[in-house]
Amino acid sequence: MNERQVSRRGLMIGAAATAAWAASPVRAMLAEAGGRALPAKVEALVAQMTVAEKAGQLTLMAATWAGGAATALNPAAGTSTFETQLGEVRAGSLGGVFNGNGATMARRMQGVAMREARLKIPLLFAADIIHGFRTVFPVPLAEAGSFDPELARRTARAAGAEAAASGIDWTFAPMVDIARDQRWGRGVEGAGEDVLLGRMMADARVRGFQGERGLAAPDAVASCAKHFAAYGAGEAGLDYNSVDISERTLRDVYFPPFQAALAAGAPTVMASFNEISGVPATANPWLLTQVLRREWGFGGLVVSDYTGDEELIAHGFAADAREATKLAFMAGVDMSMQSAFYRLHLPDLVANGEVPMARLDEAVRRVLALKVALGLFDDPFRRIDPRREKTRVRTKATLALAREAGAKSIVMLRNEGEILPLPRAGKRIALIGPFAQGKHDLIGPWNVYGTDAEAIDLATGVREAVADAGSVTVADGSGIDAPIAGGIDAAVAAARAADVVVLAIGESQAMSGEAQSRTDIVVPAAQMALAEAVIAVGKPVVVLLSTGRGLALSGGVLTAPAVLVTWFLGSEAGRSIADVLFGIVGPSARLPVSFPHATGQEPYHYGHKSTGRPNGPGPLAPYKAHYREYANDAAFPFGHGLTYGRIGYAGLDLGGGRLSAGSTLTVSATVTNSGTRAADEVVQLYVQDVTASITRPVRELKAFRRVTLKPGESRVVSFPIRRTDLLFVGGDLKPTVEPGRFRLWIAPSAQAEGVAGEFMLA
Ligand code: NOJ
């Protein structure tokens, strides 16, 4: 049996996280503000640097190699050329570049830095390695659905090693923003709506990127916890929008994944674009200095987001570039990305005494300390190896991992009549929909180096899996947003001629990601028309949903006998989907975000508060908290996901039902697979603090455990609960725990009853 438990205790919060950071070797390298832990030769460099050279170290720009392809995933900025950028390296006015293209570029730039610049300080090469490099893994949201942090660690490790082989030192990942509004497009980059899952994925991804041999290892990349903070809480789910939020919610919900990332050793943090209650994060001393450095003891590097300092002007917070520079820098942003504001304005600000030299030195030391930690002062070319770049990418092993991760990220929402898995022989299959075939929408929205062209599409995966590839017919039926002439007729004809229809519909990858908020989180109308027409044929239909967010499903798609959420699964997408469709691998993932009934419920998350007038289970009652149209619950809640087994929960054991100081309460339930196929069940423990001095959510995930159950197998699954599992941010904004009554559920989702009971905390 494969059984792993993950819970809050596996991670550290608050003081414990700070202690972990303090003890980490990265911290030792990065040193305290103004610290003396830099090697003597690097310290000597600081003494020699001019103010302009110092400001240069604090400047990070998009690589201009190959005509500036690096800016493709960001707004166009500047007209610099590669030659100009080499000139900046020579002059010492550049600390590093990001999203460049490979070892050839890196070697040229590093060569100039090491041979032609006065102080010969190595450049830092950064990139957005969000879910893979050349081998592309499932989008992070999908992978969070695996509820398998070890899987996330393994894919991050593989991505880090591939990126490092191409000269990359530093990834702008993991994105650890909690996302509770599915209108927001960037939820796709993170771990979804839940704090515990968010913390666990943050921890796993940092450890994966950085590896186990220290940051100087040639296959390690430094990670960057982003976007600090509350970027996912923008009003109305609009990307970049203002955040008006209580300090308690920041501390209770949005901060913990950052603390987990830092405890795991992340040496850098990226400030977010948004304002927080009137003060942009990029110029927020409370956030970047008081909380991050003083409270949490973070000694690493804070980088702005892309032109984040420049945007202080548009926010209405800084009058001009000079003031924006001063505000961001003095608030705690050490390095400026893409605006070039720091190298343009810091020298003058220092000369005029508006920015102390000590603050400049502190920031420079942090950049240099990162370069030291990455081993760049020992060997600036340690990650730049054109041969490794070719041989260490898209290997058999990484592609197999992509296929595994893809299959483990697929969530089965429905399987009425157990029409899945499909038999591999003897059925004519109509593969219908805009995602049925073609090299598009496979890898997801946030990938700089992978391509759809190198990925496996659904038709290929299905044809490989079936005994007779000729039994598969494919019809697009519709475009993603618009109908295609004759598309529905051809699709209906294909459905009529088939025994089973696989309907691949949903969002394109361009519909999620940065700046891709939606007002209506639905399957586009043209595809709904196709779906209804095909479903009306009356054949068994399996719906596959491409998406980068939780969707509000409707009509025949909502009630189709089988529905699988297939997200954007990466390099091996088509094979991963076929593995689950045909039962080569059983579905085992769970929703990392709730799928609401309707967009109007957003921001919806399972861990909401009760209100004074909860509707409770059952029909909608007058004067209760619900909408006219729907109960305020989810159509498919967080944690939901079916398997090919038939899983039942029974036999709750509350272990005496009393938790006293210093002890552990062990609760358990018996989970049984009465089906005919083995299943990986993610057993979840939820708790509600019934009465507290600060109201608590109706349910909070406290732990989960993945158990593999053979047909007919029963297992007792137990969870230890300690006082520290019940901490929350109290009236004084400090972690607290209060005695009293707690409800608990051991259940297959945040909304399922599973088995439920109560215990007392003494
Ligand atoms: C802007 C995004 O917000 C951030 O996540 C990314 O790392 C930078 N662009 C650099 O591409």
Type of residue numbered 761: L
Express as a percent the part of the chain with pLDDT over 90: 91
- Mutate which of 240, 268, 270, 338 for ligand 1 pocket (most atoms within 8 A of beta carbon): 270
pLDDT at residue 37, rounded to an integer:
72
Tell how far the Cα of 762 is from the centroid of ligand 1, in angstroms. 47
Tell how far the Cα of 274 is from the centroid of ligand 1, in angstroms. 13
Q: Which helix (H) or strand (E) holds 98?
A: strand 96-98
Query: Mean pLDDT throughout 67-80?
Result: 73
Atom 7 of ligand 1 has which residue's CA nearest to it? 172
Q: How far apart are CA 95 and CA 169, in angstroms?
A: 13
pLDDT at residue 5, rounded to an integer:
52
Q: How confident is the model at residue 10 (pLDDT cuts 50, 70, 90)?
A: very low
User: 174 is written with which tokens?
Assistant: 């993991």
pLDDT at residue 69, rounded to an integer:
67
pLDDT at residue 75, rounded to an integer:
82
Q: What is the DSSP letter of 709?
A: E
Instruction: Tokens 């990670």: give the residue.
Output: 223
Tell how far the Cα of 173 is from the centroid of ligand 1, in angstroms. 9
pLDDT in tens, 399-417: 999 999 999 999 999 999 9
pLDDT at residue 108, rounded to an integer:
97
Is the pLDDT assigned to residue 17 strictly greater than 60?
Answer: no
Atom 1 of ligand 1 has which residue's CA nearest to it? 306
pLDDT at residue 66, rounded to an integer:
80
Order of all β-strands in the sheet with 59-62: 170-171, 124-127, 96-98, 59-62, 336-337
Is the pLDDT assigned to residue 31 strictly greater than 50?
Answer: no
Which ligand 1 atom is nearest residue 173's CA? 7
Q: Which residues pair with 127 in a beta bridge?
A: 171
State how far the alpha carbon of 440 is from the alpha carbons of 114, 313, 432, 453, 481, in Å: 41, 38, 15, 8, 14
List, in order of start, the domains of the chain with CATH numbers: 31-390 (3.20.20.300), 411-588 (3.40.50.1700), 647-761 (2.60.40.10)
Buried b (16+ CB within 10 A) or exposed e, 146-173: bbbbebbbbbbbbbbbbbbbbbbbbbbb
User: 338 is written with which tokens?
Assistant: 């893409």
Atom 3 of ligand 1 has which residue's CA nearest to it? 305
Tell how far the Cα of 145 is from the centroid of ligand 1, in angstroms. 23
pLDDT at residue 205, rounded to an integer:
98
Catalytic site includes residue 177: no
pLDDT at residue 42, rounded to an integer:
92
User: 320 is written with which tokens?
Assistant: 């001009």
Q: How confident is the model at residue 376 (pLDDT cuts 50, 70, 90)?
A: very high
Which ligand 1 atom is nearest residue 128's CA? 7
Highest mean pLDDT among 10-14, 30-34, 155-159, 383-387: 155-159
- Mutate which of 61, 73, 130, 309 for ligand 1 pocket (most atoms within 8 A of beta carbon): 73
Q: How confident is the model at residue 2 (pLDDT cuts 50, 70, 90)?
A: very low
What's the distance, Cα to Cα, between the start and end of the chain in Å?
Answer: 35
Burial of residue 294, with CB atoms counted within 10 A of its CB: 0-12 exposed, 13-18 middle, 19 or more buried: exposed
pLDDT in tens, 598-632: 999 999 999 999 999 999 888 999 999 999 999 99
Buried b (16+ CB within 10 A) or exposed e, 243-266: bebeeeebbbbbbbbbbbbbbbbb
Which ligand 1 atom is nearest residue 231's CA? 3
Is the pLDDT assigned to residue 3 strictly greater than 50?
Answer: no
Is the pLDDT assigned to residue 9 strictly greater than 60?
Answer: no
Buried b (16+ CB within 10 A) or exposed e, 446-482: bbbbbebeebbbbbbbbbebbeeeebbbbbbbbebee
Tell how far the Cα of 430 is from the centroid of ligand 1, in angstroms. 40
**Pick the catalytic residue: 194, 219, 305, 633?**
305
State how far the alpha carbon of 536 is from the alpha carbons of 241, 432, 448, 493, 522, in Å: 42, 14, 41, 12, 20
Atom 9 of ligand 1 has which residue's CA nearest to it? 306
- Mutate which of 97, 282, 306 for ligand 1 pocket (most atoms within 8 A of beta carbon): 306
Give the lowest-confidence range in 10-19, 68-77, 494-503: 10-19
Residue 435 has phi, psi (to 5 degrees) of -105, 10
Query: How many residues are present in the chain?
Result: 762
Tell how far the Cα of 305 is from the centroid of ligand 1, in angstroms. 6
pLDDT at residue 29, rounded to an integer:
55
Atom 10 of ligand 1 has which residue's CA nearest to it? 306
Q: Is 214 helix (H, G, I), strand (E, B) or coil?
A: coil
Q: Is 166 helix (H, G, I), strand (E, B) or coil?
A: strand
Query: Mean pLDDT throughout 622-645?
Result: 97
DSSP characters over 450-517: --GGGSPPHHHHHHHHSS-GGGEEEE--B-SSSB-TTHHHHHHHHHHT-SEEEEEEE--GGGSSTT--
pLDDT at residue 607, rounded to an integer:
98
Within 6 A (CB) of ligand 1 lie 73-74, 99, 128, 172, 226, 305-306, 514
Q: How confident is the model at residue 32 (pLDDT cuts 50, 70, 90)?
A: very low
Q: How confident is the model at residue 14 (pLDDT cuts 50, 70, 90)?
A: very low
DSSP characters over 26-76: HHHHH-STT-S-S-HHHHHHHHH--HHHHHHHTEEEE--HHHHGGGGGS--
pLDDT at residue 26, rounded to an integer:
53
Query: Mean pLDDT throughout 245-268?
Result: 98
Q: Is 680 helix (H, G, I), strand (E, B) or coil?
A: strand
Tell how far the Cα of 306 is from the centroid of ligand 1, in angstroms. 6
Q: How confident is the model at residue 67 (pLDDT cuts 50, 70, 90)?
A: confident
Atom 4 of ligand 1 has which residue's CA nearest to it? 305
Which ligand 1 atom is nearest residue 448's CA? 11
pLDDT at residue 487, rounded to an integer:
98
Q: How far apart are CA 735 and CA 331, in angstroms?
A: 26
- Mutate which of 269, 270, 305, 339 for ligand 1 pocket (most atoms within 8 A of beta carbon): 305
Which ligand 1 atom is nearest residue 227's CA? 5
For residue 19, give every residue at least 6 positions away whose Cβ sits within 8 Å of its Cβ, in sequence order, or none: 12
Query: Mean pLDDT throughout 529-533?
Result: 98
Tell how far the Cα of 510 is from the centroid of ligand 1, in angstroms. 16
Is the pLDDT assigned to residue 13 strictly greater than 70?
Answer: no
Nearest CA to 435 out of 480, 492, 499, 490 is that of 480
pLDDT at residue 16, rounded to an integer:
54
Q: What's the pTM value of the predicted model, to 2 decimals?
A: 0.96
Question: How far does Cα 188 stand from its chain's mean position?
Answer: 6
Q: Is 185 helix (H, G, I), strand (E, B) or coil?
A: helix
Q: How far apart are CA 36 and CA 361, in angstroms?
A: 11
pLDDT at residue 661, rounded to an integer:
86
Query: Mean pLDDT throughout 634-652?
Result: 98
Which ligand 1 atom is nearest residue 189's CA? 5
Q: How confident is the model at residue 27 (pLDDT cuts 50, 70, 90)?
A: low
Is the pLDDT assigned to residue 182 strictly greater than 90?
Answer: yes
Burial of residue 529, with CB atoms counted within 10 A of its CB: 0-12 exposed, 13-18 middle, 19 or more buried: middle
State how far the alpha carbon of 404 is from the alpha carbons of 1, 107, 584, 585, 587, in Å: 19, 34, 11, 9, 11
